[in-house]
Amino acid sequence: MKSPPKKSPTGAAEFLGGAGRAQDVASIRLPNIRRVAFAGRSNVGKSSLLNALAGAKVARVSREPGKTRELNFFRWKKWILVDLPGYGFAKVSHGARSQWGREITAWLKSDGNLGLVVSLVDGRHGFQPLDLELLAFLRGEGIPCLVAFTKMDKWKSANQRREAERKLSSECAARAVTDFVFVSSTAKGGVAPLASALHKLKRPE
């Protein structure tokens, strides 16, 4: 797919711009409303979840990891949704990977309007070391975080899914993670838990 459309067909979500570096974000004139950022390993489903939430294919999705290379900003309702490049992408050099990490953390630290980071974790694998690093960073910075376990449609039966949810819930308990949801971008209604969590966010002062 080429560059994201300026507006979704329904007009519900609007692409505001993308930045390869934290310092370039300032050149995108972002409205003074809360940002909700989607962070997680490459291919975990960040762009898909953003699209499912907004009800429009505004962010680029790919089977190939490493699709999102910029911080992409979308206006949706009263929020700015931020699609972040993924971390842990094996095909890029170590230097490029740490550069990405630096850019993302620099932006997360500097954006005064950041309301929430949705930390996406593949529901089939649970927390990986880089996910735990992100959580530790967010905690250290006092940035509110909601863990979203993704691809929950991949379980073959309701029983398997229930068992997976039980295991993931205890992983959360072990790590003192209290805010988490189970989502699927492909299942109809699979993002309802995320939407309701967002609606509970405090409005900007």
CB of 97 to Mg ion, least distance (A): 15
Binding site for Mg ion (CB under 5 A): 46-47, 67-68
Among 8, 68, 72, 119, binds ligand GTP (CB under 6 A): 68
Using CB positions, name the residue nearest to Mg ion.
68
119 binding ligand GTP? (CB under 6 A): no
> Which segment (15-23, 55-63, 124-132, 157-165) binds ligand GTP by CB under 6 A?
55-63
Q: Which residues of 156-188 are buried (b: 16+ CB within 10 A; e: fewer)?
A: eeeeebeebbeebeeebeeeebeebbbbbbeee
Task: Look up residue 178 and give its amino acid.
Answer: T
61 contact partners, CB below 8 Å, separation of at least 6: 47, 48, 51, 67
- By CB under 6 A, the residues from 125 to 154 that bind ligand GTP are 150-151, 153-154
- Judged by beta carbon, residue 43 or residue 119, the one nearer ligand GTP is 43
C-alpha 86/C-alpha 192 separation (Å) is 23
CA 4 to chain centre: 17
Using CB positions, name the residue nearest to ligand GTP.
86
- By CB under 6 A, the residues from 11 to 40 that bind ligand GTP are 40
72 binding ligand GTP? (CB under 6 A): no
- Judged by beta carbon, residue 118 or residue 138, the one nearer ligand GTP is 118
Q: Compute how many residues bind ligand GTP; rule: CB under 6 A.
A: 24
47 binding ligand GTP? (CB under 6 A): yes
Enumerate binding residues for ligand GTP (CB under 6 A): 40, 42-48, 61-63, 65-68, 85-86, 150-151, 153-154, 184-186
